[in-house]
Amino acid sequence: MNHYEAKQAERKARLQAQAMQTKAQAKTTYDRARQMGEAIPFGQPILVGHYSEGRDRNYRQRIHNTYGKAFDLEKRADHYAQEAAAVGYGGISSDDPDAIKKLMHQVEQLTANQERMKKSNQVIRKYKDNPEGQHNALLVLGYSKDSAQKLLTPDFAGRVGFPSYALTNNNANIRRIQQRIKQLQANQERETVSVQGAGYEYAEDVEENRAMFIFEVKPAKATRDMLKRHGFRWSPTRGAWVRQLNNAAVWQAKAAMRILDEQADQ
C-alpha cells in the first residue's frame, strides 16, 4: 500500500467512524423524543383556553423538533456511510504515485479486449452461414457456452457480435487513457516552482501534485472569488488555495497571477 492508498484507507475509516457515531447520536435523539412523547397521555388533546395550552404546545413542538433532529442525523449518517463506500471506486487518481502503472494496466486490458472483440467479429463473419461453426469458434476464443450464445443472439437492430460503436468507444477509452499517461509522465518531469508576488506566493509542488497560492494574510472576498473562478479551492491542511497540478492549472495560475499583480499596482 503506497502513501496515497494509505491516505484513502484512513479517509474511509474516518468516514465509517463518523457514520457510526452519527447513527448512535440519531438513535439517542430519537429515543429522547419518544420518551418526551410518553409524558403525554395517549390521545390527550391540547386543552384550548386552559392555562397549560401555551406550555403544552411548546412541549409538543419540542418533541416534533427532536424527532426532526433525529431524522436529520440519520440522513447524515447514511451520507457518511455512502461516502465511505465510495472511497477507492472513483477511478485512478492522479495523486496516486502508482497512477501511471495502473493506467498502463488498464490500457493493456482494453487493448486485449479490443483484439478479442475484433477476432470475435471476424469468426462470426467467417462462419456466417454455419451457426454451429460460429459457436465453436467462439468457444475456442475462450467464451463460455452462454456467452457465445448471447453474442450470437441478434440485438434490437438484428446485429450479432460486437457492434461497431463498442469497438469505437473502447478505442476512444484507450486513447484517452494514453493521453492521460502522457500528461502524468510530463508532470513527473516538472520542476518545483516558487514565485513570490505582492502579498502571495505561487508554488508548483510536483511531489504533492498541486499548484497553490499562499497568502500572507487572508485575501479579500473578491480575490477569493477570483481564485475559485480559476479552479483553486481553499485547503485548510495546506493553508493554501490549491488545485491539481496539470497544464490547465498552470495556465489558470498565470491568469490569476496577472490579476493579483495588477491589483497590487493599483
Summarize pLDDT for 130-179 with one digit per residue, the tens.
989 999 999 999 999 999 999 999 988 888 999 999 999 999 999 999 99
Tracing cell 494514453 back to the chain, one arrives at: 178
Across the range 40-50, mean pLDDT stands at: 83
pTM score of the predicted model: 0.68
Whole-number average pLDDT of the chain: 92
Q: Any idea what DSSP says for residue 47? A: -
Please state, in angstroms and rounded to a whole number, the distance separating the CA atoms of residues 222 and 220.
5
Grid cell of 228 as nine digits: 475559485
pLDDT value of residue 49? 86
Residue 266 has pLDDT above 80, yes or no: no
pLDDT value of residue 137? 94
Residue 43 contacts residue 9 (beta carbons within 8 Å) = no
Please state, in angstroms and rounded to a whole number, the distance separating the CA atoms of residues 135 and 147.
10
If we measure between CA atoms, which residue out of 216, 206, 209, 264 comes closest to residue 240? 216
- In terms of C-beta distances under 8 Å and separation of at least 24 residues, what long-range contacts does 24-32 make, across chains too? 25/73, 26/70, 26/71, 26/73, 26/74, 26/76, 26/77, 27/70, 29/66, 29/69, 29/70, 29/73, 30/67, 30/70, 30/74, 32/66
pLDDT value of residue 2? 81
Binning pLDDT at 50, 70 and 90, where does residue 190 land?
confident
If we measure between CA atoms, which residue out of 99, 257, 256 comes closest to residue 187? 99
At 202-220, the pLDDT tens digits run 999 988 889 999 999 999 9
pLDDT value of residue 231? 96
Across the range 5-32, mean pLDDT stands at: 94
pLDDT value of residue 178? 96
pLDDT value of residue 156? 86
At 33-44, the pLDDT tens digits run 999 999 888 788
